[in-house]
Chain A
Amino acid sequence: MAWKRSDDLPGHPAEPAPAAPRPTPSPSASSTSAPEPPRRSGDRATIGPSIFIKGDLTGDEDLVIEGRVEGRVDLKQNNVTIGHNGKVKADVFGRVVTIEGEVDGNVFAQEQAVLRQAGAIRGNISAPRVVLEDGSRFKGTIDMEPKERHGTGTGHQAPGPQAAQTAQASAPSRIGAADAGSAGESPVGASRPAQAG
């Protein structure tokens, strides 16, 4: 039961630190853009398939794990990829965390967590945006912050005792509206008044 782990969840990881000015190794002469954040494209470490690490992993570059890791992977400012061969039994912290292998632990992504088709997570995901590809395997909880607030566009009233009473009175019109606006669906039933439990 993966939910037991969430007792230990420290909540959302801290917001990414503002991009601190940092000299790049070989800045482009024509570049006028703001200094890059700590993440450096092209700097990517790989833990090979035959490597087994037990302990904490920290650093300042993107990481691809194709081997086995037990402990903790803490690269909050960088991208972490658990490759197809990767098997991680650890909490994983990263900016964008992509799982193509197996993770038994919690995933905390500053920006996005991506569970690829071949990937599997048993644990909890905490990220502003979560992508699960079809065929991926997930067991646990997903703690998401809203991308943006906007209406459902349905105009329907929320249920509840008060709503149920309203539903009794307005069921025909609600069904009619749904019928008129349905996308290929024809309701043949009716809203049922709330019944005593």
Chain B
Amino acid sequence: MSWFSRREPASRGVATQTAESGPEVFRSLALPAVLTTLSRGHKLNVLDLGPAIGSNVERLSEFGCKLFIEDLFASKAAVPTGEGRLSADFFAQFLAPPEGTLFDIVLAWDLFNYLDHRELVHLADRLRRFCRPGSLIFALISIHKTIPAQPIRFRFHGEDTDQLIYEKRTQVERPGPRFASGELNDILRGFQVDRSFLLRHGIQEYLYVRDGA
């Protein structure tokens, strides 16, 4: 069974770096709307495009949702180097939920920063297909010129909260793609910006809503 690689020793170093830099707690301004939607009482399908994080699962379990976890960054990293950007075929295989499944909420976290324009277009195509009118996308876009080499890990800070812990997993930086809001809106056509906030640490929160509700 080789479908998961064992954790590499380097990851322990990352954890140390995280500990050295210290996680930061902040209050999300867009996430409360997501939580309000979740609390409406009926079971929703939530797509988490980040890694499986215990505290996030714990928080979401309060709402009795069905959580689909697909770590796109990890899947992308598993693609052999030299194949260039991820293809439409990759996304067709990556995002292929059971027949009839539509996502009510998509937690993209800061994944968009780690996709190039074409990859984001492919992802948006899949999200349009598998989101129903009124579905939400929660995304965080860095406005910095450089970003951590790995996605920042966001985790809920305790129960019954809209506070997130912001954890850099590496101090290594890479150029940030910095999608302009107009570019994002074009790529994510079919979704409208419901609300957007620029946070103190240079990350902009976006909450998109699927058209047609």
Cross-chain contact of A146 among B25, B63, B160 (Cβ < 8 A): B63
CA gap between A178 and B188 in the complex, in Å = 27
Hey, what's the 0/1 contact readout for A110-138 against B, CB within 8 Å counting as 1?
A: 00000100001010000001111111111
Cβ-defined contact, A197 with B191, below 8 A: yes
Cβ-defined contact, A188 with B36, below 8 A: no
Instruction: Identify the closest chain A residue to B39 (Cβ).
Output: A152
Shortest distance from the beta carbon of A85 to any chain B beta carbon, whole Å: 12
CA gap between A150 and B58 in the complex, in Å = 14
Q: Which residues of A contact B70 (CB under 8 A)?
A: 139
Q: How large is the interface on B (under 10, 10 to 19, 20 to 34, 35 or more residues)?
A: 35 or more
Q: Which residues of A contact B24 (CB under 8 A)?
A: 184
Instruction: Identify the closest chain B residue to A171 (Cβ).
Output: B195
CA gap between A147 and B160 in the complex, in Å = 12
A36 within 8 A of B: no
Shortest distance from the beta carbon of A100 to any chain B beta carbon, whole Å: 13
Cβ-defined contact, B99 with A7, below 8 A: yes
Q: Which residues of B contact A183 (CB under 8 A)?
A: 25-27, 163
Shortest distance from the beta carbon of B22 to any chain A beta carbon, whole Å: 13
Shortest distance from the beta carbon of A103 to any chain B beta carbon, whole Å: 9
Cβ-defined contact, A3 with B194, below 8 A: no
Which A residues have a C-beta under 8 Å from some C-beta of B? 1, 3-4, 6-7, 87, 89, 102, 104, 115, 120, 122, 129-161, 163-164, 167, 171, 175, 178, 181-192, 194-197
Supply 18 further A-B pairs (C-beta < 8 A) apart from A129-B61, A160-B209: A3-B98, A4-B96, A7-B98, A122-B4, A132-B57, A144-B64, A145-B64, A156-B32, A159-B209, A167-B194, A182-B26, A183-B25, A184-B25, A184-B27, A189-B199, A194-B193, A194-B209, A197-B211
